[in-house]
Amino acid sequence: MGEELLRVENVTKRFPGVLALDRVHFELRRGEVHALVGENGAGKSTLMKILSGVYRPDEGTLYYKGKPVVFHNAQEAQRAGISIIYQELNLMPHLTVAQNIFIGREPLRFGGYIDDRQMNRQARELLARLHVDIDPTTPVYALPLSKRQMVEIAKALSFRSEVLIMDEPTSALTESEIDELFKVIHQLKQQGVGIIYISHRLEELKHIADRVTVLRDGKYIGTYNYSDITLEELVSKMVGRTLEHKFPPRTSSPTGRKIFEVKHLTRAGVLHDISFELYEGEILGIAGLMGAGRTELARAIFGADPKDGGEVYLHGRKLEIHSPIDAIRAGIGYLPEDRKLAGLAVEMLLCENVTMANVEEISSRMGVIFPLRERKVAEHYIRELDIRTPSVYQVVKNLSGGNQQKVVVAKWLFRKAKVLIFDEPTRGIDVGAKYAIHRLMDQLAGQGIGIIMISSELPELLGMTDRILVLHEGRLAGVLRTRETTQEEILNYAAGLVSALS
């Protein structure tokens, strides 16, 4: 690691009613990957927005290359050499790779026309610097997510960025795509780029992080060489307490009474003759590699995608599900992997989100909503699920990821759902909130609600489920008892190396 690139001293930032950062310190060196960790609400995003020029601090000083600086907007920071890549990529899908990289800064030829040949050449040079094989004339919509992320990095480098901030860069990537990203990160380190890396996936830091800084409740806790701190110590510093167990102890257990059953569910080219049962008190996991059909199975059960064959039973009664409305009326709730896109109306209030799946319960026969009844319902679930919010009238997008997930759960509980399908229930959620969501799932199973959990994180499946269905290329490869299996065995089934059902 080289010279100091970036430093903040005693930075404080206030918003109405909130002290987001309280005299925070941070330092980044050239050629370093410096991880920034903390629970949701710890102040990570606020600090990054100050570093990238989106916000200005109320107090404190920002130093860049040894000199105090003040960025009035993101463009000033970017021109100085500080770029940020957000979790939600900021690309225009119908433009080419080169057009996205140089949007608004296209090279011009005589007469003021865009010089496409030079733009494509410069884009190709940037991509070659990352050792990434992408045709710069390809429209972005035709690229997989991992390649789009490389385009974002190339765009940042086109500004001659010396500081690169990466916010949850692996949240939607497969294991192989993550490996490719890490290779690029190591290349950037060797080129002297300083990288600030934010991630809730603490286990991946061992592959790339040199140092780690912990924030908690807007305060600076400390900076540590990553090689000198254990994962358990890091988690303890993040949450301010010791988590004796990564997963809560299970209080529910299968009773043997069948709640839910799927028979021979098929969708041409996607799902092939899948059958399984779910028992009272059980948490049933679904594992598989990317593209195995996990989410497609959930969506077919919920009626969001069509199916060509198969039957679904709830408490022994055959259900006719042709749309999500049919599934909701039957008592099935679905918590999608992208809760902001498909699980919540993020611009609406918390109370409106909690009641939206069962509006008839809080409205008159003429469809007029009773505000007092709506408020009381929301207040009940805020207490029941320990949703951290200043008010039932809080806009949902302003809640943390863990609390947003609890709002989705509240919506289905108010609808009196009998089966809940959790698709990647803790994606983008900090370690403390993960524990709370896992404990809530166990409590729901104990109340007799059927729980199906889809997860890409095998430790999560092994820590929370009773049985695990493993999918491979749209087929059910195996049904494993969690206490009797291992990550290696699950991966063997997921990769098609072995099948108990062939």
Query: So what CATH class is 4-239?
Result: alpha beta
Query: So what CATH class is 245-331+420-502?
Result: alpha beta
d(CA 9, CA 59): 9
- For residue 243, the model assigns a pLDDT of 57
H/E segment holding residue 470: strand 467-472
- For residue 498, the model assigns a pLDDT of 77
d(CA 354, CA 377): 8
- For residue 360, the model assigns a pLDDT of 92
Domain boundaries, the chain: 4-239, 245-331+420-502, 336-417
d(CA 132, CA 140): 15
HSE-CB for 190 with a 13 A CA cutoff: 8
Query: Could you check whether 4-239 and 245-331+420-502 share the same CATH topology?
Result: yes
Mean pLDDT of the residues in the chain: 89
> Which tops the pLDDT comparison, 432 or 394?
394
pLDDT at 287 over 80: yes
pLDDT at 341 over 70: yes
- For residue 313, the model assigns a pLDDT of 97
Residue 160: both structure tokens together: 């001659």
User: What letters, b where the CB count within 10 A reaches 16 and e where it falls short, cover 394-433?
Assistant: bbbeebbbbbbbbbbbbbbbbbebbbbbbbbbbbbbbbbb
pLDDT at 502 over 60: no
pTM attached to this predicted model = 0.66
Cβ–Cβ < 8 Å for 51, 165: yes
Cβ–Cβ < 8 Å for 53, 72: yes
- For residue 497, the model assigns a pLDDT of 79
Average pLDDT for 425-440: 81
Residue 501: pLDDT band with limits 50, 70, 90: low
Residue 56: both structure tokens together: 């200005």
Residue 464: both structure tokens together: 């929370």
d(CA 217, CA 227): 25
- For residue 495, the model assigns a pLDDT of 81
Tens digits of per-residue pLDDT, 190-249? 999 999 999 878 888 999 999 999 998 899 999 999 999 998 888 888 877 655 667 888
